[in-house]
C-alpha cells in the first residue's frame, strides 16, 4: 500500500472522532454559558423565529409575564400579551424538546462490539463472512 493512503486512513480513524468530540463539547459549554447569562436577567428572549429575511418573531419574558412581538427593520409590534402560565408552558416545552434531542442515545451504542465484528468479519447471526466467499 502507498504510504499516503495509510496516512490518510490514520487521519480519518484518529483525527475525525477527536474533531467531532471537540465540536460536541464546545456546543455544550456554549449553551450552558448562554443559559447562565439569561437566568439572572429580568428580561429574557425565550424563543426567536425568523419569518422572513427582515422580519423576526420573538417570545419575550419580562418578570412573570411575557409577550409575543414581531420586529422588522423599521417597525416593532406587540402581537399578544402572555400570562405567567403561558410563559411557563413555553419554557417547559422548550426544555422537553432540548432533552429529547440530547446525545444520551450515543452513549448507549457499544462501539467496541461494532468495531470487533467489522474487523473480524463476524455477522450478527454468528456466521463468518469469509465462509460465504
Tens of pLDDT along 62-95?
Answer: 888 899 999 998 899 999 999 889 888 988 888 8
pLDDT of residue 133: 47
What are the beta bridge partners of residue 82?
A: 66
Would you place residue 46 in the very low, low, confident or very high pLDDT band (cuts 50, 70, 90)?
Answer: confident
Cα separation, 59 vs 55, whole angstroms: 14
Picking from 72, 42, 44, 43, the residue whose alpha carbon sits closest to that of residue 57 is 72
* pLDDT tens digits along 48-62: 899 888 999 999 988
CA angle 79, 82, 84 (to 5 degrees): 170
3-state secondary structure of 67: strand
Q: Is the dihedral of CA 87, 38, 98, 96 positive or negative?
A: negative
Sequence spans of domains, the chain: 1-40, 42-123
* pLDDT tens digits along 102-115: 655 555 566 666 66
Instruction: Report how far apart the first and last C-alpha atoms of the chain are (Å, whole number).
Output: 23
What is residue 129's DSSP assignment?
G
Cα separation, 105 vs 34, whole angstroms: 24
Amino acid at each position: 500500500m502507498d504510504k499516503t493512503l495509510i496516512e490518510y486512513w490514520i487521519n480519518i480513524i484518529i483525527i475525525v472522532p477527536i474533531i467531532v468530540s471537540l465540536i460536541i463539547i464546545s456546543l455544550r459549554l456554549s449553551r450552558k454559558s448562554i443559559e447562565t447569562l439569561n437566568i439572572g436577567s429580568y428580561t429574557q428572549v425565550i424563543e426567536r423565529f425568523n419569518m422572513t429575511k427582515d422580519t423576526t418573531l420573538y417570545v419575550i419574558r419580562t418578570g412573570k409575564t411575557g409577550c409575543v412581538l414581531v420586529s422588522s427593520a423599521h417597525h416593532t409590534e406587540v402581537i399578544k400579551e402572555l400570562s405567567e402560565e403561558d410563559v411557563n408552558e413555553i419554557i417547559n416545552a422548550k426544555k422537553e424538546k432540548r432533552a429529547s434531542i440530547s446525545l444520551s442515545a450515543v452513549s448507549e451504542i457499544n462501539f467496541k462490539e461494532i468495531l470487533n465484528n467489522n474487523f473480524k468479519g463476524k455477522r450478527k447471526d454468528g456466521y463468518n463472512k469469509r465462509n460465504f466467499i
